[in-house]
Amino acid sequence: MPPKRRAAAAKAGGKKAKAETPKPKDAFTSAKEALLAAGPQVKGKRKVDEHCSLSSQGEVHEDYDCMLNQTNIGHNNNKFYVVQVINVNNSYYTWNRWGRVGEVGQSKLNSFNSPENAIKDFEKKFKDKTKNNWSDRLNFVSHAGKYTLIEVDGDEDAEVKVDTVDGKAVKVIKNVLPCTLNDATKKLVELIFSNDMFKEAMECMNLDIKKMPLGKLSKTQIAKGFEVLEEIEAAMNQKRGGSRLEELSSKFFTTIPHNFGRNRPPTINSKEIVEKKKEMLMVLADIELAQTLKSETEKAQEEMIETVPHPLDQDYNSLHCELTLMDTSTDTFKVIEKYLKATSDDYHKPKIVNVWEVDRETEGDRFSENDSLENRRLLWHGTNIAVVAAILKSGLRIMPHSGGRVGRGIYFASENRKSACYVRTSKNTGVMFLSEVALGREKTITKDDSSLKKAPPGYDCVVARGNVEPDPSKDTTITLEGKKIAVPQGKPVEQPQFSDSHFSNSEYLIYKESQCRLRYLLELHMWD
């Protein structure tokens, strides 16, 4: 579907489209490999450090720009160093800024009469701080007591096209078309691509992209973070001492800079902390994906005519996902609303702001592989608002979950209050998904089994049965593409047969990504 038609469909509701879906990954090591195999980064033009007095008038000369970091838990070091060569109307400078992560720090600006001398000063500083030659940076080697190079992606302003007339550079201001999205969809797209929202999410993980020496971590840098976590897990399994874990923790925080203020960086010394750091890296990877979508569509503008789509239309089209705003008077909306109210927490009930039908390109084709599976249910999936764009683009993926009580699969719930625990909001707005899940034959368990990576032989899913479940006698059904899907409508009631279960609320696990299909996205006001 052409971009204009897809955007129009979001406005008025229209024909749905189909496209490519990534292959499933079932562990954080696979996620690391996927990041490394994702191909070259979309590298944009580097920006002058915002704390430099030349930031509004200068530009980074070629690629002479580096972000360095060093963490040493034993010495309570958690510091950064920024070095750039800046060109201002053919006058050249080197900019140095250094300090503790999360603070502006100190700075120094040196002027030179030629780019060669500025470059020589830059390369000397890089060598002094890292013990590496700038020319060998693609094969960077970390050295004890020295800084490590942090790989980041640049930014490029694609709204302005540069042409030449009579050999002189001329800026061509593009004519941007009006946005074709309806108001609700426009606000949703603004939210899920909002840099402020991404910053808020990263600050909650002790990551400060405004003050920290990184603009946007690259796929390669995130993959390096996964590698260090593998080393930490191996050290734990070998029962290595605290000094080794302290050393590896310093390595992790050097690789993925954190803002701990003036507090001593903590040692990563438990599997629970490792799981949280894995989940954090997956959120970072999804943020990186969302930002890459934006940069790719902006870069594509350079090849287009001077009249270009509105930036929000571009962001929407980059998702390759149809979002159709649902009329509140429809029977389906009323079923969803009742499902939400019946299974929400009694004291903190989220309120529906908007509901969209979701149709991800090619997800329908992939889901059709399970046409023979019966026992279909509409189930909740809560998430961090920072990863919504990535989910709409790539679907729900097999990824590690903090805790992993039922192994490595995709987790769903029949009670909103259970999935709501995983919602991370922005300005009190949260997003939840309702997915059609082809459960097939259920394997019931009542105790944790974190070793599960697939359904047991003879079964298609695992259900960790809770002490309560929405009253099965109140279930209704909706029909989607000829298939009947059960939807809970009753309040949770005690399940005597599972009174000894280790689970308070039921959790539904599938271990094949093709067994679920996103059906609805709910924008919710949390919590009243």
* List of residues 6+ apart from 371 with CB closer than 8 A: none
Residue 38: band (very low, low, confident or very high) from pLDDT cuts 50, 70, 90: very low
pLDDT of residue 154: 57
Q: Is the pLDDT of residue 527 over 70?
A: no
pTM of the model: 0.79
Residue 72: band (very low, low, confident or very high) from pLDDT cuts 50, 70, 90: very high
Q: What angle do CA 422, 19, 409 make, to 5 degrees?
A: 35
Average pLDDT score, the chain: 85
pLDDT in tens, 392-449: 999 999 865 444 789 889 999 999 999 999 999 998 999 999 999 999 999 999 999 9
CATH value of 320-525 in 3.30.1440.10, 1.10.630.10, 3.40.50.1000, 3.90.228.10: 3.90.228.10
pLDDT in tens, 249-274: 999 999 998 988 899 999 999 988 99
List 411's β-bridge partners, or say none.
509
Query: In this structure, what DSSP letter does residue 424 have?
Result: B
pLDDT in tens, 95-141: 999 999 988 999 999 999 999 999 999 999 999 999 999 999 999 99
In the chain, what is the greatest distance between 2 CA atoms, to the nearest angstrom? 84
Sketch the domain layout of the chain as residue ranges.
29-40+177-317, 59-150, 320-525
pLDDT in tens, 305-331: 677 889 899 999 999 999 999 999 999
* List of residues 6+ apart from 226 with CB closer than 8 A: 28, 29, 31, 32, 35, 278, 281
CA 383 vs CA 386, 478, 508: distances in Å: 8, 24, 16
Q: Are 153 and 42 in contact (CB under 8 A)?
A: yes
Q: Is the pLDDT of residue 160 over 90?
A: no
Q: Where are the beta strands (DSSP E) in 253-335?
A: 307-308, 321-325
Domain with residues 59-150, CATH architecture: Single Sheet (2.20)
- In percent, the amount of the chain with pLDDT more than 90 equals 63
Which H, E and C letters describe 91-111, residue by residue? EEEEEEEEEECCCCCEEEEEE
Whose tokens are 């450090």? That residue is 49
- CATH superfamily placement of domain 29-40+177-317: Poly(ADP-ribose) polymerase, regulatory domain (1.20.142.10)
- Rounded to whole angstroms, how far apart are CA atoms 475 and 32? 41
